[in-house]
Amino acid sequence: MRTRKQLVTKGFIAALAAGLLMSCQNKAGNNTPATTPAAGTGTPAAGSFKIAYVDLDSLETHFEYFKEKKGLLEQKQQQMDNQLKGKARALQAEYEDLQRKANTLTQEQGEAAQRSLMSKQQQLEQEAQNLRASYAEQETKFNEELQKRLDDFLKTFNADKRFAYIFSYRSNASNILYKDPAYDVTKDVIKGMNDNGAAGTK
């Protein structure tokens, strides 16, 4: 999607502050080392500050509903572009035809033809503006719907409150500077959302 809205989860600063607070409490107590997640389990160990993340690039690549709706949106954009280009070519052809006939027209006829062309050009520009505004509105609704689907699924996915925060991650466009694969729940989220779609919850 050309201008798709980035699905960025809020709360990074709050999560960082909470993590630092827990660290300070450990130091002020019996200095017991913080529990770390078991390697390769994909789930943090009990007692740790539990977080997770979803890789949005991977989600968009494998979430079937997203691919289907994105494809339809791209088709609409292509149709819009073809429609505008076709009308622009027709207007250009009419202008060139007027240029060829210029010597055979009276001044009044020439001016009338020019006014007609200018009016058609303004109409085409207005049509292009309206079509782009309509497409932008559809794209916004598409992004909002996807965000809601992800939010609703994660509420169910994390109903047991095992994660305090679930961040979003996107390559080259994320506040997350380091990610541990042990906290990656992307595959589970993709499977769950695809299963929901297959169950007829579209």
Model pLDDT for residues 19-46, shown as the tens digit of each residue: 433 443 444 444 433 333 433 344 545 5
- Average pLDDT, stretch 180-193? 88
Q: Which residue has the higher pLDDT, 82 or 175?
A: 82
pTM of the predicted structure, to 2 decimals: 0.62
Task: Please say whether the dihedral angle defined by the alpha carbons of residues 59, 62, 66 and 72, taken in this order, is positive or negative.
Answer: positive
**Cα(96)–Cα(94) distance, rounded to whole angstroms?**
5
Residue 73 makes CB contacts below 8 A (sequence gap 6+) with 1, 138, 139, 142
pLDDT of residue 49: 75
Residue 184: pLDDT band with limits 50, 70, 90: confident
Lowest mean pLDDT among 43-52, 83-92, 137-146: 43-52
57 in helix, strand or coil? helix
